Amino acid sequence: MNNDNVAYDVLVDSDAFVGLLYDKDAHHKRATELFARSAEDNKALVTTSYVVAEAATVLSHRKGQDAARAFLKMVNRIPTVFITEEIHTESLALFAQQKRRGTSVVDCSNAVVMERLGIPKILSFDKVYTKDLGQEAV
């Protein structure tokens, strides 16, 4: 992981980035509002390398490669926690414990990173964080 000594306020999930950048996404308006409020409140945002990969892929599928490249340029301004082998292994163990269909390894890795770094909130529209993973959404 990088930036271990920095205290982050909010981990940003893939669906929030997609919602922000894809104007036809169901969460576009809300994502735009939440990112604006986070900026106004000077919230320290962070994301993960898995989130970056997932969001770029989804944007490429939905909006095209130009949108994916624009996202990669934008996300460079947000610190990224790189998923290490240890975090990956812990994420897979958490994933294996889940009962719901459609569980995401990326969501589990976000929960692990939040726990390890003491990140109090996640910017995501996925209810799995509050229902199954014990995290608080923005």
Residue 2 has pLDDT above 50, yes or no: no
Q: Which domains does the chain have, with CATH numbers?
A: 10-137 (3.40.50.1010)
Q: CA 62 → CA 23, 42, 57, 65, 106, distances in Å?
A: 10, 30, 9, 9, 19
Per residue in 15-61, pLDDT tens? 999 999 999 999 999 999 999 999 999 999 999 999 999 999 999 99
- Please tell me the distance from the alpha carbon of residue 18 to that of residue 63, in angstroms, as a whole number: 10
Render pLDDT for 104-118 as a digit per residue (tens, 0 to 9).
999 999 999 999 999
Cα angle value 17/69/125 (rounded, 5°): 10
The overall average pLDDT reported for the chain is 93
Q: What angle do CA 122, 125, 131 make, to 5 degrees?
A: 75
Q: pTM value?
A: 0.91
